Structure 1
Amino acid sequence: MSSCTTLLCALLLLGLSVEASSGGGGATSHSHDLSGSELRRVYNSPVFKAERLKRPLDGQSVRIGPLSHSGVRVTLADGSQWLVHKGGDYGVSSNTVVVAARHMSSAWQVVRTLDFQGTKNVADFVAVGGTDYSLFFDNCHLASRRMMGQ
Protein backbone atom coordinates (compact mmCIF):
# COMPACT_ATOMS: atom_id res chain seq x y z
CA MET A 1 0.00 0.00 0.00
CA SER A 2 1.45 3.40 -0.94
CA SER A 3 2.27 5.86 1.82
CA CYS A 4 -0.32 8.31 0.46
CA THR A 5 -3.01 5.61 0.58
CA THR A 6 -1.88 4.63 4.08
CA LEU A 7 -2.09 8.24 5.22
CA LEU A 8 -5.50 8.65 3.60
CA CYS A 9 -6.71 5.58 5.52
CA ALA A 10 -5.22 7.04 8.69
CA LEU A 11 -7.07 10.30 8.13
CA LEU A 12 -10.31 8.49 7.42
CA LEU A 13 -9.96 6.70 10.75
CA LEU A 14 -9.09 10.06 12.25
CA GLY A 15 -12.33 11.45 10.91
CA LEU A 16 -14.20 8.91 12.99
CA SER A 17 -12.52 9.79 16.25
CA VAL A 18 -10.06 12.64 16.72
CA GLU A 19 -8.36 13.17 20.03
CA ALA A 20 -6.34 16.33 19.75
CA SER A 21 -4.95 18.79 22.23
CA SER A 22 -5.56 21.88 20.13
CA GLY A 23 -6.72 24.21 22.83
CA GLY A 24 -4.44 24.86 25.71
CA GLY A 25 -5.86 23.97 29.05
CA GLY A 26 -6.78 20.34 28.59
CA ALA A 27 -7.25 17.76 25.87
CA THR A 28 -10.45 18.10 23.91
CA SER A 29 -12.20 15.42 21.93
CA HIS A 30 -13.55 16.47 18.56
CA SER A 31 -15.58 13.59 17.30
CA HIS A 32 -15.51 13.39 13.51
CA ASP A 33 -15.58 17.00 12.34
CA LEU A 34 -15.19 15.49 8.90
CA SER A 35 -15.52 12.06 7.41
CA GLY A 36 -15.74 10.34 4.04
CA SER A 37 -15.70 12.52 0.93
CA GLU A 38 -15.44 15.81 2.85
CA LEU A 39 -12.35 14.55 4.69
CA ARG A 40 -10.81 13.42 1.37
CA ARG A 41 -11.58 16.85 -0.13
CA VAL A 42 -9.71 18.66 2.67
CA TYR A 43 -6.86 16.14 2.59
CA ASN A 44 -6.36 16.69 -1.16
CA SER A 45 -6.89 20.48 -1.10
CA PRO A 46 -4.07 22.82 -2.09
CA VAL A 47 -2.59 24.94 0.71
CA PHE A 48 -2.17 28.61 -0.05
CA LYS A 49 -0.91 29.90 3.28
CA ALA A 50 0.79 28.11 6.17
CA GLU A 51 1.51 29.58 9.59
CA ARG A 52 3.78 27.89 12.09
CA LEU A 53 2.27 28.45 15.54
CA LYS A 54 3.20 27.85 19.16
CA ARG A 55 1.20 27.80 22.36
CA PRO A 56 1.92 26.94 26.00
CA LEU A 57 1.72 23.31 27.01
CA ASP A 58 -1.59 22.20 28.47
CA GLY A 59 -2.02 23.58 31.96
CA GLN A 60 0.71 26.22 31.54
CA SER A 61 0.19 29.95 31.10
CA VAL A 62 3.38 30.77 29.17
CA ARG A 63 5.38 29.12 26.43
CA ILE A 64 9.09 28.73 27.03
CA GLY A 65 11.08 27.40 24.07
CA PRO A 66 10.67 23.66 23.79
CA LEU A 67 8.29 23.69 26.77
CA SER A 68 5.47 24.55 24.40
CA HIS A 69 3.40 22.95 21.65
CA SER A 70 3.63 23.80 17.96
CA GLY A 71 1.72 23.10 14.78
CA VAL A 72 0.92 24.53 11.38
CA ARG A 73 -2.34 26.26 10.50
CA VAL A 74 -3.04 25.92 6.78
CA THR A 75 -5.42 28.07 4.75
CA LEU A 76 -7.12 26.55 1.71
CA ALA A 77 -8.47 28.25 -1.44
CA ASP A 78 -11.98 28.41 0.07
CA GLY A 79 -10.58 30.33 3.08
CA SER A 80 -11.06 27.43 5.50
CA GLN A 81 -8.29 26.90 8.03
CA TRP A 82 -7.02 23.65 9.51
CA LEU A 83 -4.44 22.93 12.20
CA VAL A 84 -1.96 20.18 11.35
CA HIS A 85 -0.09 19.15 14.49
CA LYS A 86 1.56 16.20 16.16
CA GLY A 87 1.51 14.72 19.63
CA GLY A 88 1.70 11.41 21.45
CA ASP A 89 -1.58 9.51 21.06
CA TYR A 90 -3.26 12.37 19.15
CA GLY A 91 -4.70 10.14 16.44
CA VAL A 92 -5.83 6.61 15.75
CA SER A 93 -3.34 5.56 13.05
CA SER A 94 -1.10 8.61 13.00
CA ASN A 95 0.11 11.04 15.63
CA THR A 96 -0.03 13.88 13.09
CA VAL A 97 -3.64 15.05 12.94
CA VAL A 98 -5.74 17.64 11.14
CA VAL A 99 -8.40 19.54 13.09
CA ALA A 100 -10.58 22.50 12.21
CA ALA A 101 -8.83 25.71 13.27
CA ARG A 102 -12.02 26.83 15.04
CA HIS A 103 -11.02 24.43 17.85
CA MET A 104 -7.84 26.43 18.53
CA SER A 105 -7.59 28.57 21.64
CA SER A 106 -6.40 32.17 21.60
CA ALA A 107 -3.12 31.00 23.20
CA TRP A 108 -1.67 30.08 19.79
CA GLN A 109 0.81 32.65 18.40
CA VAL A 110 2.18 32.88 14.86
CA VAL A 111 5.92 32.23 14.60
CA ARG A 112 6.33 32.19 10.81
CA THR A 113 4.10 32.57 7.75
CA LEU A 114 4.73 31.18 4.26
CA ASP A 115 2.78 31.50 1.02
CA PHE A 116 2.66 28.10 -0.68
CA GLN A 117 0.53 29.33 -3.61
CA GLY A 118 -1.22 25.96 -3.81
CA THR A 119 1.99 24.04 -4.55
CA LYS A 120 1.39 21.61 -1.65
CA ASN A 121 -1.76 20.01 -0.30
CA VAL A 122 -2.85 19.10 3.22
CA ALA A 123 -1.75 15.50 2.61
CA ASP A 124 1.82 16.73 2.05
CA PHE A 125 1.84 18.45 5.46
CA VAL A 126 0.49 15.32 7.18
CA ALA A 127 3.04 13.10 5.42
CA VAL A 128 5.94 15.37 6.44
CA GLY A 129 4.60 15.46 10.01
CA GLY A 130 4.97 11.69 10.19
CA THR A 131 2.94 8.94 11.84
CA ASP A 132 5.11 8.20 14.88
CA TYR A 133 5.80 10.45 17.86
CA SER A 134 8.96 10.62 19.96
CA LEU A 135 9.48 13.30 22.59
CA PHE A 136 13.18 13.60 21.75
CA PHE A 137 13.48 12.49 18.12
CA ASP A 138 10.18 13.32 16.37
CA ASN A 139 8.05 15.77 18.35
CA CYS A 140 5.63 18.57 17.45
CA HIS A 141 8.41 21.16 17.02
CA LEU A 142 10.45 19.03 14.63
CA ALA A 143 7.31 18.10 12.66
CA SER A 144 6.08 21.70 12.33
CA ARG A 145 9.54 22.86 11.18
CA ARG A 146 9.60 20.11 8.54
CA MET A 147 6.12 21.13 7.36
CA MET A 148 7.38 24.68 6.85
CA GLY A 149 10.50 23.46 5.02
CA GLN A 150 12.90 24.61 7.74
Structure 2
Amino acid sequence: MLSFKMFLCALTLTLLAVSLEASKGGGTPNYNYDLSGSDLTRLYNSPVYKAERMKRPLDGSSVIFGPLSHSGVRVTLIDGAQWLVHKGGNYGISSDTVVVDVQHMGPQWRVVETAEFEGMKTVADFVAAGGSDYSLIFDNCHMGSRRMMNQ
Protein backbone atom coordinates (compact mmCIF):
# COMPACT_ATOMS: atom_id res chain seq x y z
CA MET A 1 0.00 0.00 0.00
CA LEU A 2 1.27 3.45 -0.87
CA SER A 3 2.20 5.74 1.95
CA PHE A 4 0.68 9.20 2.00
CA LYS A 5 4.05 10.77 1.08
CA MET A 6 4.41 8.44 -1.91
CA PHE A 7 0.86 9.28 -2.96
CA LEU A 8 1.58 13.03 -2.77
CA CYS A 9 4.81 12.58 -4.73
CA ALA A 10 3.02 10.59 -7.44
CA LEU A 11 0.21 13.17 -7.55
CA THR A 12 2.71 16.03 -7.85
CA LEU A 13 4.56 14.29 -10.70
CA THR A 14 1.27 13.60 -12.45
CA LEU A 15 0.15 17.21 -12.16
CA LEU A 16 3.53 18.38 -13.43
CA ALA A 17 3.27 16.04 -16.40
CA VAL A 18 -0.28 17.25 -17.10
CA SER A 19 0.84 20.87 -16.98
CA LEU A 20 3.79 20.10 -19.28
CA GLU A 21 1.47 18.34 -21.75
CA ALA A 22 -1.01 21.22 -21.56
CA SER A 23 1.78 23.74 -22.20
CA LYS A 24 2.23 22.27 -25.68
CA GLY A 25 -0.82 24.25 -26.73
CA GLY A 26 -4.36 23.40 -27.58
CA GLY A 27 -6.45 23.78 -30.64
CA THR A 28 -7.11 21.43 -33.50
CA PRO A 29 -4.44 18.79 -34.03
CA ASN A 30 -2.51 18.91 -37.29
CA TYR A 31 -2.44 15.40 -38.79
CA ASN A 32 0.44 14.89 -41.21
CA TYR A 33 0.83 11.57 -42.97
CA ASP A 34 4.02 9.95 -44.24
CA LEU A 35 2.03 7.23 -46.03
CA SER A 36 -1.57 6.54 -46.96
CA GLY A 37 -3.66 3.98 -48.84
CA SER A 38 -1.91 0.86 -50.10
CA ASP A 39 1.52 2.15 -48.99
CA LEU A 40 0.27 2.40 -45.41
CA THR A 41 -1.32 -1.07 -45.62
CA ARG A 42 1.96 -2.49 -46.92
CA LEU A 43 3.86 -0.86 -44.03
CA TYR A 44 1.39 -2.20 -41.41
CA ASN A 45 1.78 -5.72 -42.85
CA SER A 46 5.60 -5.52 -42.89
CA PRO A 47 7.51 -7.89 -40.60
CA VAL A 48 9.59 -6.27 -37.84
CA TYR A 49 13.10 -7.64 -37.39
CA LYS A 50 14.39 -5.38 -34.61
CA ALA A 51 12.69 -3.12 -32.09
CA GLU A 52 14.27 -0.49 -29.87
CA ARG A 53 12.41 1.15 -27.01
CA MET A 54 13.37 4.82 -27.09
CA LYS A 55 12.96 7.77 -24.73
CA ARG A 56 13.31 11.51 -25.14
CA PRO A 57 12.64 14.51 -22.91
CA LEU A 58 9.15 15.99 -22.99
CA ASP A 59 8.72 18.96 -25.31
CA GLY A 60 10.17 22.04 -23.64
CA SER A 61 12.54 20.02 -21.44
CA SER A 62 16.15 19.01 -21.97
CA VAL A 63 16.37 16.04 -19.57
CA ILE A 64 14.81 12.61 -19.32
CA PHE A 65 13.46 12.10 -15.81
CA GLY A 66 11.51 8.86 -15.39
CA PRO A 67 7.86 9.33 -16.32
CA LEU A 68 8.52 12.96 -17.22
CA SER A 69 9.67 11.91 -20.67
CA HIS A 70 8.21 10.50 -23.87
CA SER A 71 8.79 6.97 -25.16
CA GLY A 72 8.12 4.95 -28.27
CA VAL A 73 9.50 2.01 -30.21
CA ARG A 74 11.69 2.33 -33.28
CA VAL A 75 11.12 -0.69 -35.52
CA THR A 76 13.50 -1.88 -38.23
CA LEU A 77 12.16 -3.78 -41.25
CA ILE A 78 14.03 -6.31 -43.41
CA ASP A 79 15.00 -3.62 -45.93
CA GLY A 80 16.55 -1.51 -43.15
CA ALA A 81 13.70 1.04 -43.15
CA GLN A 82 12.96 2.39 -39.68
CA TRP A 83 9.71 3.74 -38.27
CA LEU A 84 8.74 5.11 -34.86
CA VAL A 85 5.62 3.64 -33.24
CA HIS A 86 4.49 5.86 -30.36
CA LYS A 87 1.41 7.06 -28.58
CA GLY A 88 0.07 10.31 -27.24
CA GLY A 89 -3.16 12.22 -26.77
CA ASN A 90 -4.69 13.12 -30.15
CA TYR A 91 -1.69 11.76 -32.09
CA GLY A 92 -3.97 10.05 -34.61
CA ILE A 93 -7.58 9.98 -35.70
CA SER A 94 -8.67 6.36 -35.15
CA SER A 95 -5.87 5.50 -32.72
CA ASP A 96 -3.59 7.45 -30.39
CA THR A 97 -0.77 5.03 -31.31
CA VAL A 98 0.76 6.10 -34.61
CA VAL A 99 3.62 5.19 -36.95
CA VAL A 100 5.89 7.94 -38.26
CA ASP A 101 9.06 7.99 -40.33
CA VAL A 102 12.18 8.21 -38.13
CA GLN A 103 13.12 11.42 -39.95
CA HIS A 104 10.70 13.10 -37.50
CA MET A 105 12.77 11.95 -34.51
CA GLY A 106 15.05 14.57 -33.00
CA PRO A 107 18.56 13.98 -31.68
CA GLN A 108 17.41 13.67 -28.04
CA TRP A 109 15.93 10.17 -28.49
CA ARG A 110 17.93 7.48 -26.63
CA VAL A 111 17.73 3.68 -26.86
CA VAL A 112 16.74 2.10 -23.53
CA GLU A 113 15.98 -1.48 -24.65
CA THR A 114 16.53 -3.61 -27.75
CA ALA A 115 14.81 -6.82 -28.88
CA GLU A 116 15.07 -9.02 -31.96
CA PHE A 117 11.71 -10.03 -33.44
CA GLU A 118 13.09 -11.78 -36.55
CA GLY A 119 9.97 -11.06 -38.60
CA MET A 120 7.62 -12.80 -36.16
CA LYS A 121 5.58 -9.60 -35.54
CA THR A 122 4.33 -6.93 -37.93
CA VAL A 123 4.15 -3.16 -37.60
CA ALA A 124 0.38 -3.61 -37.09
CA ASP A 125 1.12 -5.86 -34.09
CA PHE A 126 3.16 -3.05 -32.53
CA VAL A 127 0.40 -0.51 -33.14
CA ALA A 128 -2.18 -2.87 -31.60
CA ALA A 129 0.07 -3.52 -28.58
CA GLY A 130 0.46 0.24 -28.10
CA GLY A 131 -3.30 0.58 -27.65
CA SER A 132 -5.80 2.82 -29.37
CA ASP A 133 -6.63 5.18 -26.49
CA TYR A 134 -4.27 7.46 -24.56
CA SER A 135 -4.62 8.18 -20.85
CA LEU A 136 -1.90 10.03 -18.95
CA ILE A 137 -2.52 7.94 -15.82
CA PHE A 138 -3.87 4.60 -17.08
CA ASP A 139 -2.42 4.07 -20.58
CA ASN A 140 0.35 6.48 -21.53
CA CYS A 141 3.29 6.28 -23.95
CA HIS A 142 5.50 4.40 -21.46
CA MET A 143 2.90 1.70 -20.84
CA GLY A 144 2.26 1.36 -24.57
CA SER A 145 5.95 1.10 -25.48
CA ARG A 146 6.55 -1.56 -22.79
CA ARG A 147 3.65 -3.61 -24.15
CA MET A 148 5.11 -3.35 -27.65
CA MET A 149 8.45 -4.73 -26.46
CA ASN A 150 6.86 -7.52 -24.38
CA GLN A 151 4.59 -9.01 -27.03
With the length of structure 2 as denominator, give the TM-score of the two structures: 0.79
What pairs up with 1:77-88 in 2 under 5 angstroms? Answer: 77-88=78-89
CA distance in 2: counterparts of 1:42 and 1:50, whole angstroms: 15
- Shift in Å, 1:30: 6.4
1:18-69 C-alpha deviation (Å, 9 max, x unpaired): xxxxxxxx79956221011111111000000000000000000101000000
1:90 aligns with 2:65: no
1:74 aligns with 2:50: no
Quick check: 2:87–2:96 contact (8 Å CA) kept in 1?
yes
* Larger helix fraction of residues: 2
CA distance in 2: counterparts of 1:72 and 1:110, whole angstroms: 9
Partner SS, residue 148 of structure 1: helix
Q: Which residue of 1 aligns with 2:149?
A: 148
Number of residue pairs matched by the alignment: 125
With the length of structure 1 as denominator, give the TM-score of the two structures: 0.79
CA distance in 2: counterparts of 1:140 and 1:31, whole angstroms: 19
Quick check: 2:130–2:147 contact (8 Å CA) kept in 1?
yes
Partner SS, residue 74 of structure 1: strand
Q: Which residue of 1 aligns with 2:62?
A: 61
CA distance in 2: counterparts of 1:65 and 1:100, whole angstroms: 25
CA distance in 1: counterparts of 2:32 and 2:147, whole angstroms: 27
Partner SS, residue 63 of structure 1: coil
5+ residue gaps in structure 2? 1-23
CA distance in 1: counterparts of 2:71 and 2:44, whole angstroms: 20
Larger Rg: 2
1:1-29 C-alpha deviation (Å, 9 max, x unpaired): xxxxxxxxxxxxxxxxxxxxxxxxx7995
CA distance in 1: counterparts of 2:80 and 2:58, whole angstroms: 28
